Amino acid sequence: MDSFQYFMPVKIYFGKNCILEKKEVFRNFGKKAFLVTGQNSAKKNGSFHDITEALSSLDIDFVTFDQVEENPTTETIEKAARIGISEKVDFVIGIGGGSPMDAAKSIACLIANPGLTATALYEPVALKHLPLIEIPTTAGTGSETTPYSILTLHEKKTKASNKQSVFADVAFLDAKYMLHLPVSTTINTAVDALSHLIEGYLAVKSNFLSDIIAESGFKIIGECLDALKTGEFSFETREKLLLASTLGGFVIAQAGTSLPHLMGYALTYHRNIPHGQANGILTKAYLALFQEPKNQQKIKTFLNLLGFSSLDAFGDFLEQVLPEKSSFSEEEIKQFTALSVQNKTKLATFPEKISEEIIYQIYQKSLL
């Protein structure tokens, strides 16, 4: 058997009302918390209420930064960190979709290193960080179990994961916060979770354990296909999607994401296409690239676990659940290709032959 390593340090509490039921956990992290959220949803979906109630009942003080935008920028991270430093917070709680959860990781680094700017996050020097708790309110990114923080870099005109590895100390998973997540966000984020399972399963660094976890994730998502098609989500389905998303985080924490993520960043930056949807648009053409029998066998296995008889049937499903594609120009495809090939680390996750021409062809097949 091939040698491999596996690392997953996040303590997970899963279940309805887990924050209030396990609130004693917060005592381990200090006397003042920094709550990092998006602009609206945390206050509407009950997560902000549960956390502030838990903290208040324990006499833990808190300050809130509620200005994290979708696809957070380095400017936002720096602004939040300045507040966290001046407020002398002891730990950070990220509440929301991937945007606030990723932001919380970078903010936790900059608060622990006063004087540094966001540029330092992209240097290959490991920075210390404040303790971190993550609370997902979308079921997609798995950020609560990955070490990654993906920020928008205006100077590079794209998004990129920074070089720090920040795992949460604790993640609270409660699907009740997702009960009113709009159907379109539910689908986009579910497709993101699915793309993590797929890309991690097929990446160079996939291993025995990450494959077992990915296979469980495919089965769970397979049980949610009807709901994704009809747009009707029971609490049980919400819990399944949340679990699958967290499992996707386990998988990419080991194996990383691959081409659809790399290439999707350009679609999000330049055309404002939501992250999960961007991955979904590129997935079929990416899967059609694999030539080696062992990879083709893996594709067959996961399609089976999901409940699809062929790649075409899976492609049809993605087309059915995702919004209609916008139109793209040949010029844009060349621009996206040129951007994508700069990220050699992500290109190296693909286990077969890869070239600029192949990247160009995936965009062409997916977008034109």
Binding site for Fe ion (CB under 5 A): 192
Please name the amino acid found at residue 224. Answer: C
CB atoms within 10 A of CB 26: 21
C-alpha span between 135 and 72 (Å, rounded) = 17
CA-based nearest residue to 62, from 51, 75, 73, 72? 51
Q: Kindly give, in sequence order, each residue whose CB lies less than 8 Å from that of residue 140, ignoring residues fewer than 6 positions away.
A: 97, 98, 188, 189, 190, 191, 192, 193, 245, 275, 276
- Take residue 359 and report the two structure tokens written for it: 């990247």
- Take residue 165 and report the two structure tokens written for it: 């590895």
Residue with Cβ nearer ligand NAP (178 or 358): 178
Binding-site member from 96, 200, 256, 260 for ligand NAP (CB under 6 A): 96
Residue with Cβ nearer Fe ion (84 or 260): 260
Please state the closest distance from residue 329 (CB atom) to Fe ion, in A.
Answer: 26
Instruction: Tell me which residues in 22-41 interact with ligand NAP (CB under 6 A).
Output: 38-41
Please state the closest distance from residue 187 (CB atom) to ligand NAP, in A.
Answer: 11
What does 186 bind: Fe ion, ligand NAP, none (CB cut-off 5 to 8 Å by kind)?
none
- Give the side-chain half-sphere CA count within 13 A for 354: 20
Q: Is 171 helix (H, G, I), strand (E, B) or coil?
A: strand
Residue with Cβ nearer ligand NAP (207 or 277): 277
Binding-site member from 84, 140, 256, 280 for ligand NAP (CB under 6 A): 140
Segment interacting with ligand NAP (CB under 6 A) among 49-57, 80-88, 125-133, 137-145: 137-145
Instruction: Tell me which residues in 179-198 interact with ligand NAP (CB under 6 A).
Output: 180-181, 185, 189, 192
- Take residue 32 and report the two structure tokens written for it: 């003042």
Segment interacting with ligand NAP (CB under 6 A) among 18-26, 177-185, 236-244, 360-368: 177-185
Please state the closest distance from residue 31 (CB atom) to ligand NAP, in A.
Answer: 27
Question: Is there binding between residue 141 and ligand NAP (CB under 6 A)?
Answer: yes
Please state the closest distance from residue 88 (CB atom) to Fe ion, in A.
Answer: 33
Reported as type and span, the H/E element at residue 225 is helix 225-230
**CA torsion 68→70→73→78, rounded to 10°?**
10
CB atoms within 10 A of CB 126: 11
- 92, β-bridge pairs: 34, 132
Please state the closest distance from residue 252 (CB atom) to ligand NAP, in A.
Answer: 6
E strand segments, the chain: 11-14, 32-38, 61-68, 91-96, 132-136, 150-153, 158-161, 170-173
Please state the closest distance from residue 293 (CB atom) to ligand NAP, in A.
Answer: 30
Please state the closest distance from residue 137 (CB atom) to ligand NAP, in A.
Answer: 4
CB atoms within 10 A of CB 321: 21
Could you tell me how far CA 139 lies from the centroid of its own chain?
9
What does 248 bind: Fe ion, ligand NAP, none (CB cut-off 5 to 8 Å by kind)?
none
Question: Is there binding between residue 118 and ligand NAP (CB under 6 A)?
Answer: no
210 neighbors 248 (Cβ within 8 angstroms): no
Please name the amino acid found at residue 135. Answer: I
Question: Is there binding between residue 11 and ligand NAP (CB under 6 A)?
Answer: no
Question: Is there binding between residue 70 and ligand NAP (CB under 6 A)?
Answer: yes
What does 61 bind: ligand NAP, Fe ion, none (CB cut-off 5 to 8 Å by kind)?
none
What does 343 bind: ligand NAP, Fe ion, none (CB cut-off 5 to 8 Å by kind)?
none
Binding-site member from 34, 148, 172, 336 for ligand NAP (CB under 6 A): 148
Question: Is there binding between residue 76 and ligand NAP (CB under 6 A)?
Answer: no
Segment interacting with ligand NAP (CB under 6 A) among 138-146, 308-316, 326-334, 344-352: 138-146
Binding-site member from 74, 76, 138, 210 for ligand NAP (CB under 6 A): 138
CB atoms within 10 A of CB 43: 16
C-alpha span between 14 and 175 (Å, rounded) = 9
Q: Which chain residues interact with ligand NAP by CB under 6 A?
A: 38-42, 45, 70-71, 96-99, 102, 137-138, 140-143, 146, 148, 150, 159, 177-178, 180-181, 185, 189, 192, 275-276
